[in-house]
Amino acid sequence: MLLVFITLAATFTPIFAKLSVAEISPLSFGFFRFGFAAILFYITLKFRKLDLKFDKKDYPRLILLALLCIPLNQFFFLTGIKLSYASHSGIIYSLNPVYAYIVAVLFNYEKFNYSKLFSILLTVVGIFFIFYEGLTQVNVDSNVIRGDVLLLFAVLTFSMYLTLGKRTIEKYGALKTSTFVFLAGSVFYIPLFIYDLPNFTLAHLTYKGIIGFFYLSVVVAYLAYFVWYYALKNIAVSKLTTLSNISPLLTVLFSIIFLSEHISVYFIIGSAITLLGVFVMHRVSIDIS
């Protein structure tokens, strides 16, 4: 049941995000989404009788994590998915382990392994195919290309957050670190929300937007966090990584069913190559460990 929950949470995130930002301005939606999730984290922290005290030397890193996770990631993700497609988001976000590995190498958290170079090259080729149609055909909406670029930056900021936050989480615990990140990140998000106020309206809000808000705030940002860390302790990593490769495929399938998204031949080829690269990265990581 945990594996099913994690898979479905990742699968439907782009779909509900696409539905929500169609009714609520992306920047405003991101503020309310993580503001609500931050409150839930803080209540949980107090319930477990924990505090938000950290060593002074760790505050700069915590602030950086808050900026990466909330205002930067949500700006790129929600704005990107409004312009692009949920199916594109599902495939592009599958790059997260590849990005995380590259970031870890750049910051000297891991040593470069030539056995992973092939998987990185595969993902580059796969993303090229996904972008190829938009770059070569004049009848393709240019907003989709801009959206895909923003989604690439969304994955980059999230991967940086995961990689740079690993040591902090090991030192203070995931709940304590995440609570600070969500609270501080929501505060840092306020300027974006104020800037977006002229675009904020609930006039077009329907049950789809309401369901999307609670799904992304409670199920994904809050509940999935606890399930994921519990799963890491009790389920084999190989099973988790295998399912992480299934989620993008399910996202594409349900995007076609629920959002009537068009899937081109270039997208199918690019998705297959990208997911193959991610799968190879997972297998190499498991073999090395």
pLDDT at 139: 59
pLDDT of 140-193, one tens digit each? 567 888 999 999 999 999 999 988 988 898 899 889 999 999 999 999 999 999
Rounded Cα distance, 30 and 34, in Å:
6
CB-neighbour burial class of residue 111 (10 A; exposed 0-12, middle 13-18, buried 19+): exposed
Residue 260's φ and ψ, nearest 5 degrees, are 55, 40
pLDDT of 36-60, one tens digit each? 999 999 999 999 999 999 999 999 9
Domain containing 213 equals 2-288
More confident residue, 10 or 3: 10
Nearest to 140 by CA among 89, 83, 93: 83
pLDDT at 289: 56
pLDDT at 264: 86
pLDDT of 100-143, one tens digit each? 888 888 888 888 887 788 888 888 899 888 887 666 665 556 78
Is the per-residue pLDDT at 231 higher than 80? no
Distance of CA 46 to CAs 42, 97, 122, 223, Å?
6, 32, 45, 17
Rounded Cα distance, 136 and 74, in Å:
29
Total of domains in the chain: 1
Nearest to 110 by CA among 97, 101, 119: 101
CB-neighbour burial class of residue 151 (10 A; exposed 0-12, middle 13-18, buried 19+): buried
Rounded Cα distance, 163 and 166, in Å:
6
